[in-house]
Amino acid sequence: MPLSEHEQKLLEQLEKQLHEDDPKFANTMGSDPIRSWSTRHVIIGVLGAIAGILLLLVGVSMQAIPVGVLGFVVMGAGVYFATLRGAAFGKANKGKPGKAKSKSSFMSSLEERWDERRRDDN
């Protein structure tokens, strides 16, 4: 269910106030989807996939099944690493957000944190 214009304005005001009151927390909870893709991870993943393809081709040309299987695994790991959005690397990004969040997921993440606090208190 999409937000009404009034609700969107209220949400934008809340985010602006959060950025003014606590910029460090706002950056960790940020909703900037551009930051979620790490160029370094994409490049390393693509290079890993290329190395895996080369290993796979060498294994096939030498008729060495273990080398071909290793190449396939390396290729798959490279693709997986390239497609990660940085959720697992949020702490390594020095406080930058680890995953892309839309404005609606900003509120849902706050609600999740609130629920976790309430569970910890009980």
pLDDT tens digits for range 49-104: 999 999 999 999 999 999 999 999 999 999 998 888 655 444 444 444 444 444 56
What is the maximal distance between C-alpha atoms in the chain? 66
Assess contact for 74 and 51: CB atoms under 8 A. yes
Coil vs helix vs strand at 75: helix
Query: Per residue in 59-81, is it b (16+ CB within 10 Å) or e — as a string?
Result: beeeeeeebbebbeebbeebeeb
More confident residue, 122 or 86: 122
Q: Give percent above pLDDT 70 in the chain.
A: 75
- The pLDDT of residue 68 is 93
Q: Which helix (H) or strand (E) holds 23?
A: helix 23-28
- What ranges do the domains of the chain cover? 34-89
- The pLDDT of residue 101 is 44
Distance CA 3, CA 94 (A): 32
